[in-house]
């Protein structure tokens, strides 16, 4: 199999080299400046920089009698390109920068190889932008190579009058025969050996600007349409594209399924997932009048997102003393939270189902002045309809799992019409920012996680006092926001823990309280003494598992327990928010699956502010240690507080980014 792959790569690379030679033989070449090749020879050794996707004809600048190397990544497509470059007497340096990704792509070795080649009298050809994008954003790596080698960077572009391009992240362009071909070079960029971070960033931006300029000039010289070779993400950022066929089919399909909506809502109401008295809101009917003044619409999916936007809502209301805030969510638990905690001039409605007729009805009534979506709750019809009404759109605290990022990048035709319509995006981290920028969002800011700045869930002092009295002197492990499959692991760990802690009480707060009856039956079936809070207000002295199948009491239980396993992490869900536990003084444990809060958990685990467990045995050992070793638990809590202190600031950045959209509407 490996031999066949190598043979195919060699055949493909040599075929590509033959195509390049055919294009060269059949085409007319022009240069700017006219002596570009002479200048490149005089600048040798240098770094010849181009944009990814625009490099096919660069090898035609090779004068033939000097040594040239090229940096080529380690993957299938690059192997083919590398084989083609070998046909033009070019040495290969394997590896590429990783950008903000954690995966090692051989960047450090490639940097060393590049510097060694340049200092050994070989010029270097490389692309300035880094897969998988965003396209045409120069990386710092090429600047560092110039700094360490002392060799200048020469921005170069090639364009042909006849070409075809593909819908890849870089808009890969294939030059065609019988063309007029232009080569354009810019002035060399020198990077001093003592350049500091500020100068490196300044020169990186200059390279980016110069490469865009020579690329535009090359296409102008051959009379070709630059837009056809421009990455679709960049075009989308300038002019949002119309909805794709997939989005149109999605809208039409939901419209056709409207007769089934009552059946869906009936089923969800029986499951306790809908409020029957407020069904009309899910169909776009408002249950109250629109305020006469400024209306800011904030949409949050559920409880966690709602809790994170409450401080933002308060700050927005302070910004404009006459404004009102409409908060929409999709769950009954978040509606209950909103009823308890929304400030004056803020009110709640259920978000309409994403059916075009319902979203139109919702927007016709509320006519928001600013629409703010939270995290990853992307509803296509609602977003497109809001943008069509020229309402400014913001996506705040934006997050994506690694799987979601890969899926969105793969489905750019669907993602670009949506994300390009957001006027501003506040992303939790660099990876999310790069992905969303690659989907055409014109204004993306890395702001951090709003949940770090959110207040912890409230504590009912009377309830806490009663629980403390009922559990006096008992060691308590809280398992918060658990998902199916996790309770079995916790139950398996319990037998080992109980050997060291015979009075141990495990309190489980399931993510979905309606799981309480089934969960109680499952644990009782294992021979464990189990009670449900919805039926028994306080645990008995012999209770081993206490299931808190109620709403709005998580903060109280965090304040009660000295240690908490934050759920969604022992199974492949992605983890839940650990910050609430830390703010209430619980030492945090987590499973290995916590990518929904990757940056927070990375900081916590690295600092010793959280303990990661991967099995029932590890859970038993770690929880026992935290419950029996007061000094160890105190150290975990102190480290966690220190780590969170370094991660704050997202709220201030978010408010600052949103203010211009309010003032732009005449306030």
Cis peptide before 185 (omega within 30 of 0): no
Distances in whole angstroms, Cα of residue 107 to Cα of each of 68, 202, 471: 19, 22, 55
The architecture in CATH of the region 461-645 reads 3-Layer(aba) Sandwich (3.40)
CA dist 306 and 396 (Å) reads: 12
Q: What is the pLDDT of residue 110?
A: 86
Closest CA to 504 of 482, 532, 526, 473: 473
Model confidence pLDDT, tens digit, residues 310-353: 999 999 999 888 999 999 999 998 999 999 999 999 999 999 99
Model confidence pLDDT, tens digit, residues 151-173: 999 999 999 999 999 988 899 99
Q: Residues 107, 109, 115, CA angle at the centre, nearest 5°? A: 100
Beta 370-374 vs 295-299: how paired, if at all?
Answer: parallel
CA dist 602 and 590 (Å) reads: 11
Model confidence pLDDT, tens digit, residues 9-19: 678 778 888 99
CA dist 62 and 110 (Å) reads: 21
Q: Per-residue pLDDT for 74 more than 90?
A: no
pLDDT band at 41, cuts 50/70/90? Answer: very high
Residue length, the chain? Answer: 667
H/E segment holding residue 468: helix 461-470
Q: What is the pLDDT of residue 580?
A: 92
Q: What is the pLDDT of residue 101?
A: 47
Residues sharing a CB contact under 8 Å with residue 662, sequence separation 6 or more, in sequence order: 294, 296, 316, 319, 320, 323, 369, 370
The architecture in CATH of the region 245-448 reads 3-Layer(aba) Sandwich (3.40)
pLDDT band at 667, cuts 50/70/90? Answer: very low
Count the neighbouring beta carbons within 10 Å of the beta carbon of residue 293: 13
Q: What is the pLDDT of residue 6?
A: 62
Q: What is the pLDDT of residue 100?
A: 44
Locate the domains of the chain by residue range.
2-230, 245-448, 461-645
Q: What is the pLDDT of residue 80?
A: 74
Instruction: Say what percent of the chain tops pLDDT 70.
Output: 95
CA dist 629 and 624 (Å) reads: 8
Q: Are the C-beta atoms of residues 650 and 448 closer than 8 Å to each other?
A: yes
Active-site residue list: 305
pLDDT band at 509, cuts 50/70/90? Answer: very high
DSSP-assigned states of every residue in 363-397? HHHH--SEEEEETT---HHHHHHHHHTT--EEEEE
CA dist 76 and 53 (Å) reads: 15
Question: What is the Rg, in whole angstroms, of the alpha carbon atoms belonging to the chain?
Answer: 29
Q: Residues 197, 203, 204, CA angle at the centre, nearest 5°? A: 85
3-state secondary structure of 512: coil
H/E segment holding residue 234: helix 232-238
Q: Are the C-beta atoms of residues 519 and 487 closer than 8 Å to each other?
A: yes
Count the neighbouring beta carbons within 10 Å of the beta carbon of residue 640: 26
Structure tokens at 470: 């009922």
Number of helical (H) and strand (E) elements in the chain, helices listed first: 27, 23
pLDDT band at 5, cuts 50/70/90? Answer: low
Model confidence pLDDT, tens digit, residues 618-653: 999 999 999 999 999 999 999 999 999 999 899 999
Yes or no: domain 2-230 corresponds to CATH 3.40.1130.10: yes
Strands (E), 212-265: none
CA dist 146 and 153 (Å) reads: 7
* Mean pLDDT of the chain, nearest integer: 92
Q: What is the pLDDT of residue 99?
A: 47
> 461-645: same fold as 245-448?
yes
Q: What is the pLDDT of residue 631?
A: 96
Instruction: Say what percent of the chain tops pLDDT 90.
Output: 80
Model confidence pLDDT, tens digit, residues 346-362: 999 999 999 999 999 99
Model confidence pLDDT, tens digit, residues 159-216: 999 999 998 889 999 999 999 999 999 999 999 999 999 999 999 999 999 999 999 9
Q: What is the pLDDT of residue 87?
A: 78
Model confidence pLDDT, tens digit, residues 369-405: 999 999 999 999 999 999 999 999 999 999 998 889 9
To the nearest 10 degrees (0 to 180), the angle between helices 486-500 and 616-628 is 50
Q: Per-residue pLDDT for 91 more than 90?
A: no
Model confidence pLDDT, tens digit, residues 437-474: 999 999 999 999 999 998 888 899 999 999 999 999 99
Q: What is the pLDDT of residue 318?
A: 92
């Amino acid at each position: 199999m490996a031999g066949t792959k190598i043979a195919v790569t060699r055949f493909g690379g040599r075929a590509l080299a033959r195509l390049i030679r055919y294009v060269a033989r059949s085409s007319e070449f022009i240069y700017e400046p006219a002596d570009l090749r002479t200048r490149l020879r005089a600048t040798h050794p240098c770094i010849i920089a181009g944009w990814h996707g625009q490099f096919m004809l660069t090898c035609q600048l090779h004068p033939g009698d000097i040594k040239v190397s090229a940096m080529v990544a380690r993957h299938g497509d690059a192997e083919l390109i590398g084989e083609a470059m070998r046909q033009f007497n070019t040495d290969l340096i394997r590896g590429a920068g990783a950008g903000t990704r954690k995966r090692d792509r051989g960047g450090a070795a490639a940097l060393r190889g590049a510097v060694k080649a340049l200092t050994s009298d070989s010029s270097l050809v490389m692309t300035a932008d880094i897969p998988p994008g965003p396209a045409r954003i120069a990386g710092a790596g090429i600047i560092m190579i110039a700094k360490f080698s002392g060799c200048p960077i020469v921005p170069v572009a090639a364009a042909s009058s006849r070409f075809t391009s593909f819908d890849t992240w870089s808009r890969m362009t294939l030059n065609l025969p019988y063309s007029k071909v232009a080569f354009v070079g810019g002035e060399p960029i020198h990077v001093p050996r003592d350049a500091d971070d500020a100068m490196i960033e300044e020169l990186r931006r200059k390279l980016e600007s110069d490469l865009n300029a020579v690329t535009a000039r090359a296409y102008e010289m051959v009379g070709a349409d630059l837009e056809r070779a421009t990455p679709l993400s960049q075009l989308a950022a300038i002019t949002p594209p119309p909805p794709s066929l997939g989005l149109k089919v999605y809208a039409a399909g939901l419209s056709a399924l409207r007769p089934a909506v009552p059946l869906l809502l009936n089923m969800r109401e029986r499951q306790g997932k809908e409020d029957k008295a407020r069904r009309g809101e899910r169909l776009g009917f408002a249950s109250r009048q629109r305020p006469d003044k400024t209306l800011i619409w904030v949409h949050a999916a559920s409880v966690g997102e709602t809790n994170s936007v409450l401080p933002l809502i308060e700050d927005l209301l302070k910004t404009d003393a006459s404004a009102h805030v409409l908060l929409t969510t999709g769950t009954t638990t978040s509606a209950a939270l909103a009823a308890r905690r929304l400030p004056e001039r803020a009110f709640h409605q259920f978000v309409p189902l994403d059916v075009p007729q319902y979203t139109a009805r919702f927007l016709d009534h509320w006519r928001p002045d600013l629409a703010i979506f939270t995290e990853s709750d992307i509803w296509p019809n609602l977003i497109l309809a809001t943008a069509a009404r020229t309402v400014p759109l913001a996506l705040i605290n934006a997050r994506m799992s690694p799987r979601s990022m890969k899926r969105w990048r793969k489905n750019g035709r669907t993602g670009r019409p949506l994300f390009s319509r957001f006027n501003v995006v506040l992303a939790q981290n660099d990876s999310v920012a790069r992905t969303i920028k690659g989907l055409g969002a014109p204004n993306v800011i890395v702001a951090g996680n709003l949940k770090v700045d959110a207040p912890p869930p409230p504590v009912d002092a009377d309830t806490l006092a009663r629980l403390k009295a009922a559990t006096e002197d008992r060691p308590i492990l809280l398992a918060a926001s658990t998902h199916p499959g996790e309770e079995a692991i916790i139950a398996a760990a319990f037998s080992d823990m109980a050997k060291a802690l015979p009075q141990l009480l495990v309190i489980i707060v399931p993510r979905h309280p309606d799981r309480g009856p089934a969960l109680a039956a499952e644990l009782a079936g294992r021979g464990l003494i189990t009670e449900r809070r919805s039926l028994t207000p306080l645990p008995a002295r012999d209770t081993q598992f206490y299931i808190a199948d109620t709403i709005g009491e998580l903060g109280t239980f965090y304040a009660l327990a000295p240690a908490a396993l934050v759920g969604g992490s022992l199974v492949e869900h992605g983890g839940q928010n650990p910050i609430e536990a830390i703010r209430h003084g619980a030492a945090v444990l987590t499973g290995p699956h916590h990518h929904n809060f990757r940056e927070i958990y990375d900081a916590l685990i690295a600092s010793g502010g959280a303990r990661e467990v991967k099995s029932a045995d590890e859970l038993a050992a770690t929880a026992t240690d935290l419950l029996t070793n007061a000094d160890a638990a105190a150290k975990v809590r102190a480290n966690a507080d220190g780590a969170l202190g370094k991660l704050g600031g997202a709220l201030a950045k978010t408010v600052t980014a949103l203010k211009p959209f309010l003032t732009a509407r005449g306030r």
